[in-house]
Amino acid sequence: MQDEKVCADAVSMMADAGIRLTDRERGEIELAGFGLDNFEREGLALVVYVNGDRYCAKELVLFAGQTCPEHRHPPVELEDGRTDPGKQETFRCRAGSVYLYVEGAGDAGGIKAKVPSGSEAYYTVFHEVVLTPGDQYTIPPNTLHWFQAGPEGAVVSEFSSTSRDELDVFTDPRIQRVEAQEG
């Protein structure tokens, strides 16, 4: 997929969900491919509205069947010597459906998502939470999780404590936190 087309498709999905972006926000859409060179399968588009020292707000767009790989948001040592427990995030589904997997009871054989082929070893948590428009779920800090869009794709609003994406710990050692591309 060409980056401009992917960004335009993400804007269209958000507009269909009633989310209107400014010109600046449309120009700052990030495409996170995680260094896997397979954005259509493992990746997402996002817009960051605000990411301050206390809170963060984003829109996440996943196309049909697209997956954000398994990861956690670990504790962080702050400059003043305190320890931040890691990012806590709430996902609220705005459009489509998203299959969210967190630590807890569940197994790979009974889930709605399809673990990306060739990456099976890097998906280890299978407690399934299905989110449809209006549903939300809060993920505690340092909790392994991953998520995948349903067949119609998904638009998800994320509200969280400070986001430090570069410090996320992914189960898949192939993942590289590279600068996201802007659309």
Integer angstrom CA distances of residue 85 from 16, 122, 140, 159:
36, 24, 9, 16
pLDDT of residue 182: 46
Please, what's the b/e burial string for 59-90 (b: 16 or more CB within 10 A of its CB; e: otherwise)? bbbbbebbbbbbbbbeeeeeeeeeebebbbbe
Q: Are 72 and 55 in contact (CB under 8 A)?
A: no
Could you give the count of Cα atoms lying within 13 Å of 67 in the half-sphere of its Cβ?
A: 20
The CATH number of the domain holding residue 104 is: 2.60.120.10
**Residue 127 — φ and ψ, nearest 5°?**
-75, 115
pTM here is: 0.94
Enumerate the β-bridge partners of residue 48: 58
Nearest-10 Cα torsion for 35, 37, 39, 40: -160
For 109-163, the pLDDT digits (tens) are 899 999 999 999 999 999 999 999 999 999 999 999 999 999 999 999 999 999 9
**Tens-place pLDDT, residues 78-97:** 999 999 999 999 999 999 99
| Phi and psi torsions of 60, nearest 5° | -115, 135
Note the pLDDT of residue 2: 77
Residue 28 belongs to domain spanning: 3-182
How far are the Cα atoms of 38, 73, 107, 131 from residue 92, in angstroms, in the given order? Answer: 26, 18, 24, 8
Phi/psi class of residue 7: alpha, beta or left (left: φ > 0; alpha: ψ in -120 to 50)?
Answer: alpha
Tally of domains in the chain = 1
